[in-house]
Structure 1
């Protein structure tokens, strides 16, 4: 990466989060934003047709700079964030899960890579589990395996002993927390609404890198994440969107021989394994979710994009 000019002003950061029937969880996150030391930020809470008491809780909580945007429909993760971005005034958009807890110097640390490297478009913090605060959830992403459609977070489930304290570019952003520049939206667009839930940040990351930006991991920024609070650890909706969007992501981002190998792997190995997993304990709602996910892909067409570029090496990290 080429050295860039440091940010000399204090840009406005728009923090966008989504509430879906989790008013208390959302307010726990908002409470943690009171500790943020960065002087210029606004908070936009998008309520995805929750019909809960989030408005009253926000009013009673005396949260600084918070605006509530109510959607009459559940727009999912993609659509909810896109709606929040439409109402944002910031120079940067910080998309943050409502089931997170922030740390005081988070925003200052996330801004640093933007001032150092002109081609950085997204910066993600180190993420640890809220209930296991010394255990890592995210310290960057491994590259996608184009034959299996799998990737996984670096450091996942490892105790944090400082082994991933080197900042640098990474393959994918993490949907729980990503600071995105306004320039990214101008050149790469926003999240794709077709995903609704899951894989949307991977697809967006691929488009962002195709547009010439780097995705950067900043370990000096830290959040804590209560994973899977919005949809639960396992349910039919999660099975449906994981199945549907894994196929959809691969069809949009992989082409040629690797995509053919993926189809063979998925339909000959991964899918039969899932069907057995849901058949033996007899979980018909999960089986229906898989069927509906496959049917959706059979009835929706897309054009595969160019191969994803590799992250640029920095200080020997890659």
Structure 2
């Protein structure tokens, strides 16, 4: 019999004892035959590490010296994990038995599949797709991200409409299967992002390197979401805006960069004004700070990769239009209406 690729499920933890108590049992019931389980702790101040050490001795624990967020935390921990495929799993995810096998089987069909995600459903409403990934991540020509099954804050019920294997633009960081060789080849996550959008940036760089990103509907997981920063938190809004701008500057083809970023600037001003009119001045302040810090970052930015430039239009999972225009002005709330 062929040897199964080695898989390491790596859960990044920060003060997540309640989530670990609830969701580790499902992870430990995973049936894959060549599996290791790892807890990467981001300098937690609760007793989550002690809890895991006591109750789950089969789980290896890696202690990061400080909390460098999702990006830095995984980059540091994965230097110490040997496996063919990493599975980066959020601490607030419940998995089904047999969730690993179909994704690995799909990735084994084509060595160019660098990353893959399962179907993401909402833990609190299991018939609904979940915000952070749904049935695979897409992006429009101005860098606005959305998913099959989720556009902005509108999620769809899973009625089997996305039960096909599909090439996508980005795979969710909440349950990200990625070849270890590909992760390290493109430099892992960008530490400057700290948290949010880092998986989109990583998948963009993987596509620029010639790899595929895929969605596997035969694997299902259930995500709580907002475990670290809930939706509507100004800090989350700040990171999403800042990191999205950084990602565009880094990855856009040089011929497209200014065209896209100028359009984004005016649309983001409108978003800030909308927040102010809606009585959310903290959201407007978050967008302002995001731009301020983005420009500061850009002044000192040094290109970190030598990957080829690639037109966005030629990549998988790109909508050749403006998503927010369709959503707000044409009322297209579902992916099937948009594409």
The TM-score by the shorter chain falls in which range? Answer: 0.7 to 0.9
Distance 1:168 1:263, change over 3 A: closer
| TM norm structure 1 | 0.87
Gap regions ≥5 residues in structure 1: 1-6, 313-317
Cα distance in 1 for residues equivalent to 2:65 and 2:36:
23
Alpha-carbon deviations, 1:62-104, whole Å to 9, x = none?
Answer: x263122222321111111112211212111001111111111
Cα distance in 1 for residues equivalent to 2:27 and 2:101:
13
Matched residue, 1:296: 293
Distance 1:270 1:116, change over 3 A: same
2:51 paired with 1:51: no
Contact 1:32 1:103 in 2 (8 A): yes
Cα distance in 2 for residues equivalent to 1:293 and 1:18:
25
**Range with greater deviation from structure 2 (199-208 or 71-80):** 71-80
User: Aligned-pair distance for 1:186?
Assistant: 4.2
Matched residue, 2:86: 93
Contact 1:99 1:226 in 2 (8 A): yes
Alpha-carbon deviations, 1:31-63, whole Å to 9, x = none?
Answer: 1112211122122212222210112211332x2
Which of these residues, 254, 267, 270, is aligned with residue 269 of structure 1?
Answer: 267
| TM norm structure 2 | 0.82
Distance 1:260 1:186, change over 3 A: closer
Matched residue, 2:164: 166
Which of these residues, 74, 79, 89, is aligned with residue 81 of structure 1?
Answer: 74
Secondary structure of 1:74's aligned partner: coil
Alpha-carbon deviations, 1:84-135, whole Å to 9, x = none?
Answer: 2112121110011111111110111110112211211112101101001011
Contact 1:191 1:200 in 2 (8 A): yes
**Range with greater deviation from structure 2 (213-222 or 17-26):** 17-26
User: Aligned-pair distance for 1:244?
Assistant: 0.8
Matched residue, 1:3: none
How many residue pairs get aligned? The number is 303
Instruction: Kindly report which structure 2 residues correspond to 1:161-310, keeping only aligned pairs within 5 A, or say none.
Output: 161-256=159-254, 258-278=256-276, 281=279, 283-284=281-282, 286-301=283-298, 302=301, 303=303, 306-307=309-310, 308=312, 309-310=314-315
Matched residue, 2:124: 131
Distance 1:270 1:282, change over 3 A: closer
Gap regions ≥5 residues in structure 2: 318-338
Cα distance in 1 for residues equivalent to 2:316 and 2:52:
40
Distance 1:20 1:234, change over 3 A: farther
Distance 1:15 1:130, change over 3 A: same
Aligned-residue RMSD, C-alpha: 2.3
Cα distance in 1 for residues equivalent to 2:137 and 2:52:
34
